[in-house]
Structure 1
């Protein structure tokens, strides 16, 4: 019988059973086909997609290198900190787990009591007290869209661990970061500078040495669970972070601290607008102290927005410039320091009148005496055959108007105009340190030429770098250049020692037990009123004069007492005493070769 006719002869109940059976068989066949499709055809791609959705590439942050002083004392370093991240989507779906004996390790409560709310508000109630944030503010951040919101930066490891104990995995977690901290406060504020929010040096030494201090981030590739945790055994790729190198400065923190304290005391004593000091090792060119009285905390916005005054401030050196003039005169064999002059207190030349700082009759001074008495008139008389080209050339040889070469951001190199642009007065004022400008670093290294027997050595601020694996790379010294002959330098040093004896005999600027060679300066500068109403008083000295170890330069703005030898000179004396004690420098031998200052 035909199947259809046979089906019609079946009872209604049996017919329904057959239909249902066929439907079930069809559905089963479809499910079987789908299963085969998923497992055999789509299986690998589905598994791969699931794996990819769980796979993350986590950045391993490299730590920024430290900045240390010459003895390894840490001045700036990065410490372990965390950025706390929230997942707003997960926070809004949060349902607190009530604490019971069985759920004790994964439950949520506040001050021992169950939470009274759910979602982002509940998460905020748990986390806000640990972050020191307002609950409403934090709840607002967690009520946004997306799965990533920065809640707070620079959180300590202790706080991060407390957050981890809240059982909020996948909702709140910490990303490792670093915070830059500075141990000295304002000791080297703007000189050290600071970093931005991304940890990049943006000012001072932090900026200058950014490439050296910056490390290379690493990474890890692994699969994470629903709570954001790493699934053990799923790491497929990793590269360790390489921390940045340390930068070891030539600065001695103890010297820097003491010099700054002396400056602050002197600023108050002389009611000066500000003060600067530089201490340089004459034998190596290393800067031991680079200090000023500005009160900027290292790493602060002020430190990032301002340049260290010791680097940026330019000024006319005043009579210290006579050292360079006389060096050129002696080197060019136009004079020796023992040559004799009759010096009045005023001189009119080409319609221009020049005066000494004090009234006197026609004095019988040698050139050493002209330097000792700091006579402008005598310096001009001695320079009658000293051409404009020679005047400019020797200032340039001493480094005036040129950057120090240290590479400090914001350093001002001063101004030394070409000799062809000098007018009839400027060509003579440059002989005694007016008509050009310099900074304290530049002036210190120029005087170090005399201490080094006529050789100009490059200055050093970064003594070495130390890689993350401990490899030390000493800074290679730059090329030294001879400026004047050694015999010429000895004559100038001799005259500068007479300057020191002159002030010491009056109770100023002497360092008991040690011979000093120095020069003072005073120059009028433009004040706040736009007129020549302000004064710069400076003093630079070589100590000990019989065996040069250090050059110290001190600069004061508008001190009471005006003259450099009477204000900046005593400040040097305090610094000089400290240096001799700290470095246990033997006392000087008596002076026996003084060039006469009078005839």
Structure 2
């Protein structure tokens, strides 16, 4: 009895446990079915939306940077369509090539008609390597890293991208739109154009100055993507097209710039100069047609990004070119007239300071016009005795000396012009003949252009279409004063008629030579310059040429070094723009008495 009872009790306990487990399983199944029914009946929409949201991603569409053009619309800088090739290592690992047969048609993988011969990343690499011109082993290594994103190649051409599209690697290999900044004539404008950084932002030159206009606004598209990152057709929800950057048209004429640069390089070689630079300005519009130097920086290069155009960054004492400003101020203040007579020795001592001319001579009977023609430092000091220090400073600033120009180019130096209160006994007189202050080539060009424009100084421009022609006009001296200074400058040119001549055209110019400091601070260097107005009787261009440490058999002075380069450039301009020849000169102011 006892044995039977125990066995019966055990069976009863087992049945109860089985029933309990069964009830629990039925309950779990009921809950699962209930949850499924709830999701389907009540929460299906939100769950579907959540799943869709997880697959929905935004994709940036890059805007193209605007072009930089010359005045005639020729391209100086542009962004070309390029692509970055992106690989998905996770998807590549599961790649199994489809061998090509009659049944597969074009939906297969092969290399020159042969099977790929490998699965996974190695197979993808074998297919992709010929299009990218890369080693398959190296490419396979890049595709064998963890993750889902790796850059395989940057800035490939559209042709390469199209060849990759035909490989049947969608979802494994994608192409992201990018761009490449190119410069068709990189050595022509170098530091003037500047360059951009890796993000596409202008960091030097015109690329920096006009970055806001050149930079576009990226667009985007939002769509659902599949497991391999591909777009699911018909799932795009939002899209905004990119707005490309605007083009910037310069006042620079590429032909003029090329010719000027060639003339500078040739002159630099002929005169064994350290460097040379030049500015060509249209007197009618104050537009810069050429801003050139002999530096060999390639636009877009690291050198172009860290150096500025020498024509705006290099400062120097203008030397005797500055005498035109002093003479104009004296005439305007009625301290002198151009016909005033002076007996000029080759040296003079004033306030225990001695001043000398650049050549030895006896007492000369020169008018103020003659002092300019013969570039006499002594004569300028003598003429300046009733020309106050404050006026000397005022007219230098009115002509734009010591002030940043309106060009806005990065790296421009405003030069150096201290107040008259800081001048010592020597500086107060050296400023009369272009020493004791420093300027740059664009400032000096516009100072002389003020005389060509009948005494009115206007803002220079290098960007076509920005601002009105001759905006911000300021009358510096009367029209009559400007004409008389130009008359004397024409006599200067006639003195150099054998070395500086443009056949058929009158020239009004001034030469300059000044000592400059070397790296040790000693005055061992020379800057020679020539600034001229052409034609003198109907001004069309102002041309400035500057050389550092020139040497020639005729000397180092601006009239025999920078002057001939000016004439070469001037002849080209007269022919290119078909400028009418000059009328004979009949009104020369006497230079002697």
Query: Shorter-chain TM-score: what band?
Result: over 0.9
4+ residue stretches of structure 1 with deviation over 6 A?
18-28
1:493 counterpart = 2:493: no
Structure 2 vs 1, CA of residues 337 and 33 (structure 1 numbering), >3 Å: closer, same or farther?
same
Name the structure 2 match of 1:263: 264
Name the structure 1 match of 2:567: 573
Q: 1:182-581 to 2 correspondence within 5 Å?
A: 182-464=183-465, 478-504=471-497, 507-561=498-552, 562-581=556-575
1:493-517 Cα shifts (integer Å, max 9, x gaps): 000000000001xx11111100000
Which sits farther off after the overlay, 383-392 or 443-452? 383-392
Q: 1:18-167 to 2 correspondence within 5 Å?
A: 32-167=33-168
Superposition RMSD on alpha carbons, in Å? Answer: 2.2
For structure 1, list consecutive stretches of 5 or more residues without a partner in the other structure. Answer: 1-7, 9-14, 465-472
Kept in 1: contact 2:285–2:469 (CA 8 A): no
Structure 2 vs 1, CA of residues 592 and 147 (structure 1 numbering), >3 Å: closer, same or farther?
same
Name the structure 2 match of 1:467: none
1:176 counterpart = 2:180: no
Distance in 2 between the 1:22 and 1:413 partners?
94
1:28-84 Cα shifts (integer Å, max 9, x gaps): 756643531342244223311221232121212111111111111111111111111
For structure 2, list consecutive stretches of 5 or more residues without a partner in the other structure. Answer: 1-7, 9-14
SS in 2 for 1:354: strand
1:379-437 Cα shifts (integer Å, max 9, x gaps): 10000111111111110110001001211111111100111111111111111111111
Q: TM-score, normalised by structure 1?
A: 0.92
SS in 2 for 1:556: strand
Structure 2 vs 1, CA of residues 22 and 412 (structure 1 numbering), >3 Å: closer, same or farther?
closer
SS in 1 for 2:223: strand
SS in 1 for 2:131: helix
Which sits farther off after the overlay, 252-261 or 34-43? 34-43
Q: CA deviation at 1:130?
A: 2.2
Which sits farther off after the overlay, 106-115 or 487-496? 106-115
Name the structure 2 match of 1:469: none
Distance in 1 between the 2:131 and 2:525 partners?
54
SS in 1 for 2:560: helix
Structure 2 vs 1, CA of residues 227 and 451 (structure 1 numbering), >3 Å: closer, same or farther?
same
Q: Count how many residue pairs are aligned between Structure 1 and Structure 2.
A: 574
Distance in 2 between the 1:365 and 1:317 partners?
23
Distance in 2 between the 1:352 and 1:22 partners?
119
SS in 2 for 1:187: helix
Kept in 2: contact 1:456–1:483 (CA 8 A): yes
Name the structure 2 match of 1:589: 583
Structure 2 vs 1, CA of residues 412 and 136 (structure 1 numbering), >3 Å: closer, same or farther?
farther
SS in 1 for 2:174: strand
Q: TM-score, normalised by structure 2?
A: 0.93
Name the structure 2 match of 1:4: none
Distance in 2 between the 1:42 and 1:95 partners?
39
1:437-466 Cα shifts (integer Å, max 9, x gaps): 1110110000001000000010011112xx
Q: CA deviation at 1:27?
A: 8.4
Distance in 2 between the 1:106 and 1:477 partners?
66
Structure 2 vs 1, CA of residues 346 and 192 (structure 1 numbering), >3 Å: closer, same or farther?
same
Q: CA deviation at 1:122?
A: 2.5
Which sits farther off after the overlay, 584-593 or 43-52? 43-52
Which sits farther off after the overlay, 449-458 or 530-539? 530-539
Kept in 2: contact 1:462–1:475 (CA 8 A): no
